[in-house]
Amino acid sequence: MGKIFLRETPLMHRDLSPQVRLRIILWRLLTLGVAATLIVLARGFPEHPFSKPVAVILGRFNIQVGILYFNHLLQFACFVIYNLDFWGSYRAGRLAATGSRPDWLDGSLSAMGLLMAVCFVLGFGLWTWAVFEVVLVIFLMMELWRFNVGLSRKLRRPGLMLPMSFITLIAVATPILKVPLAIAPGTELSWLDALFTITSAACVTGLIVQDTATHFTPFGQAVIAVVIQVGGLGMIIFGTVVAALVGDRMSLSENLSLSAALNGQPLSRLQGLVRLIVGSTLLIELIGAALLLPMWDGPLGIDQRIGLSLFHSVSAFCNAGFALYTDSMIPYRYAPLLHLVLGPLIVLGGLGFPVLDNLFRILRWRIVQRLAPRSIREARRPNSLADSRLSLHSKLVLSTTLGLYLFGVVFLSVAQFRPYLDPLTMEQPVPIAQVPALKPLTTHRVAAVLVDASFQSITARTAGFNSMPMEEIRSGGNFTLMGLMMVGASPGGTGGGAKTTTLALLLLSVVATLKARNSVEAYGRRISDVLLRQAATLAGCYIVLVGASTFLLSLSEPYPFIALFFESISAATTTGLSMLKSDEVLSSFGKSVIIATMYLGRVGPLSLLGALVFSTLPPRPYQFPQEDVLVG
């Protein structure tokens, strides 16, 4: 039979789902946005911003209470307008045009909001209005997702959704962090510093311009933690979960967007992988927080311990590096139990969810084969080898991760041992912060250097916690840290960097070239030339990004080149370590450069370039003649 060729038509690029009317969603967003703004004005300021102008006009003493009730009245009006429009659209059959349909969650939230408003009027307490405001915020999040759905159906380049979602997260969270409720009394926060902090949190970097522990209130720290969580998993993944709760079905464009966010995972496995991502993330972070509860030093209350545990568990798993201590983890420098919790959290977050999915499938299959009755074992036979063995991706990620850890431990130890070769220096006790809750591992110099090297080797791969002062790390150690930062985490994980598989493919390509092989092989499998070109391109993009950032910083900052180079690598790979001293502050131009570098490093130079330029270009139907050039 002859081959049938189909000519590509514009219809193939169009989503056949109902056309979404963005103006309807925008109207609802505007209504809920006004309500959210009123919440911020009432909750985020010690005195309502409109109280003084109104007092001047009306000349009344109890004007604050009046404005507060007027604020509540406007919030309730926004709630009523939103629900009338939403349920009116349902009655009129226009919900298909908004990309949503009513579900039990919509009905429950509407009923709860109305009930809480009535209870507040009847005098049941201020908590009822707080619950009402939470309902408004949930409605706003749902409409933001519906706007994301509609926009994804309109865009011809689904890859744009990922960078746009990070821009949206940064734009929404920056004003919230700027309200007085989020800033500690007696301190100030400029708009540029707020933008820097939120960008660092959204891109899970960890670089700061204001101390997280002292410059922000618990509310501000909670905002940073939420932004870290959302940025670590990705806005698109969170939106998919919200859509699943609402009951919406994803269109082809949404699936393509989610596939791009998950590093090209098959569309057939996206829903299951998203459930694994959210479920495993919450489970791992809760377990980590529970293990951290008794490990904090000082006379802390249970609420403070819970806050510290949750914040650092989220920060560690998302590879963010934010800490609620001014000097990061230095007070717990030789506390082995804390290292044994934070270290695995960092590694699990950096392995990538495809690897966690593979390991979970293998574990489930082996448990069934060993413990289940024969009838269940036969019914649960794996449909493919993926349920019973490690994939090539998992093997490369796990072996490269282990190799990088050992590389970091060895080279950091060698670099740090050099000053202590003098026997007199070796016998001096190690200065250890006294932590009554945790017994230090040892005061022996050799063991202390190994503990430092072990934790820094883990955290340098985009996590950003530092358990030792950066000024104590010698030149060889800084060089090792920069190499680890450039590699970063693994694809599909919460960290940044050029990725472990990129390093693995480049090394395998070198080995194949030295052995004069025609193809690159690993673990009995041949690797596509397309993947090798992508790895080389990704590494090249990070080199260009780091170079451009370093050059721009050198134009405006008066600090040593090595410190600026280290800062650029840390920002581009979303690590968060810094060689700058506490009194060395970047200029406004320098902060802007780091903000742009963190953003580009998070969304990925290759994905951003492909989304903006190459995503819609069809492949060439021809090839040029081949001609060789000299190499070396």
Q: What DSSP string runs through 548-566?
A: HHHHHHHHH--S-HHHHHH
Whether the Cβ atoms of residue 500 and residue 404 lie closer than 8 Å to each other: yes
pLDDT over 90 at 26, yes or no: no
Q: How many other C-beta atoms are found inside a 10 Å radius of the C-beta of residue 623?
A: 6
Nearest to 365 by CA among 350, 357, 377: 377
Using pLDDT thresholds of 50, 70 and 90, give the confidence band for residue 9. very low
pLDDT over 80 at 145, yes or no: no
Using pLDDT thresholds of 50, 70 and 90, give the confidence band for residue 12. very low
The residue ranking higher by pLDDT, 163 or 526, is 526
521: β partners: 526
Least confident of 50-64, 548-562, 598-612: 50-64
Whether the Cβ atoms of residue 259 and residue 265 lie closer than 8 Å to each other: yes
> 552 Cβ partners below 8 Å, 6+ apart?
589, 593
Q: CA 555 to CA 116: how far, in whole Å?
A: 57
Q: CA 307 to CA 220: how far, in whole Å?
A: 12
Burial of residue 55, with CB atoms counted within 10 A of its CB: 0-12 exposed, 13-18 middle, 19 or more buried: middle
Q: CA 67 to CA 65: how far, in whole Å?
A: 5
Whether the Cβ atoms of residue 261 and residue 237 lie closer than 8 Å to each other: yes
Q: CA 141 to CA 149: how far, in whole Å?
A: 12
Average model confidence (pLDDT) across the chain: 77
Q: What is the pLDDT of residue 598?
A: 92
Compute CA distances 472 → 334, 442, 457, whole Å: 15, 19, 15
pLDDT over 50 at 264, yes or no: yes
Q: What is the pLDDT of residue 362?
A: 84
> 537 Cβ partners below 8 Å, 6+ apart?
606
**Residue 520 has what DSSP assignment?**
E
| Structure-block tokens of residue 80 | 């009523």
Q: What value does the mean pLDDT take over residues 14-37?
A: 69
> 315 Cβ partners below 8 Å, 6+ apart?
206, 225, 228, 321, 322, 323
Using pLDDT thresholds of 50, 70 and 90, give the confidence band for residue 65. low
Q: What value does the mean pLDDT take over residues 439-449?
A: 62
**How many separate helices (H) and strands (E) can be counted in the chain?**
25, 2
Using pLDDT thresholds of 50, 70 and 90, give the confidence band for residue 25. confident
Q: What is the pLDDT of residue 552?
A: 94
Phi-psi region of 516 (alpha: psi -120 to 50; beta: other; left: phi over 0): left
Q: What value does the mean pLDDT take over residues 151-167?
A: 70
Least confident of 78-82, 422-426, 575-579: 422-426
| Structure-block tokens of residue 540 | 């090249």
Compute CA distances 362 → 345, 355, 391, 438, 511, whole Å: 21, 11, 10, 36, 30
Q: What is the pLDDT of residue 261?
A: 56
Q: CA 338 to CA 296: how far, in whole Å?
A: 9
Ranked by mean pLDDT, the top range of 410-414, 432-436, 626-630 is 410-414
pLDDT in tens, 370-418: 776 666 656 555 555 556 788 888 899 999 999 999 999 999 988 877 6
Q: What value does the mean pLDDT take over residues 272-288?
A: 81
**Residue 614 has what DSSP assignment?**
I
% of the chain residues with pLDDT over 70: 72
Ranked by mean pLDDT, the top range of 45-54, 72-81, 250-259, 606-615 is 72-81
% of the chain residues with pLDDT over 90: 17
Nearest to 345 by CA among 384, 295, 395, 393: 295
